[in-house]
Amino acid sequence: MAEKGFFGALFDISFSEFITVRLIKVLFVIAIIGSAIGAVTILIGGIASGGGAAFLSIIMAPIAFFLYVLMARVWLELILVMFRISDNVDKLAEQKSTEQSQG
């Protein structure tokens, strides 16, 4: 079966092709941008509060950014692993059916 383009796969009613694998890089960039916005929000909010909150926000903003990006990366990798498992199971099933038809 020929691989469809992005929009062909997007509107594939039978779900014979997945677009998530194609979008995973874009989703990670969006997660990084969202993490940066969250970290800046923490930083600005803490500085606006003044006092000890400013010091705490200077410490917490980079930590929060790192943890958000790490969490996004792990979740996206788990999604990719599930798709790769599916691909490998399909290949094994096809190989098994080929062996049975020959033998």
Nearest one of 2, 19, 1 to 10, comparing CA atoms? 19
pLDDT score, position 103: 65
Distance CA 9, CA 102 (A): 33
Q: Give this prediction's pTM.
A: 0.77
Check pLDDT > 60 for residue 1.
Answer: no
Domain definitions of the chain by residue range: 24-96
Q: Which residue has the higher pLDDT, 5 or 96?
A: 96
Q: Are 57 and 47 in contact, with CB atoms under 8 Å apart?
A: yes
Average pLDDT over residues 51-71: 94
% pLDDT > 90, the chain: 60
Q: Which residues of 69-102 are buried (b: 16+ CB within 10 A; e: fewer)?
A: beebeeebeeeeeeeeeeeeeeeeeeeeeeeeee
Average pLDDT over residues 77-90: 92
Q: What is the mean pLDDT of the chain?
A: 89
pLDDT score, position 51: 87
Check pLDDT > 60 for residue 2.
Answer: no
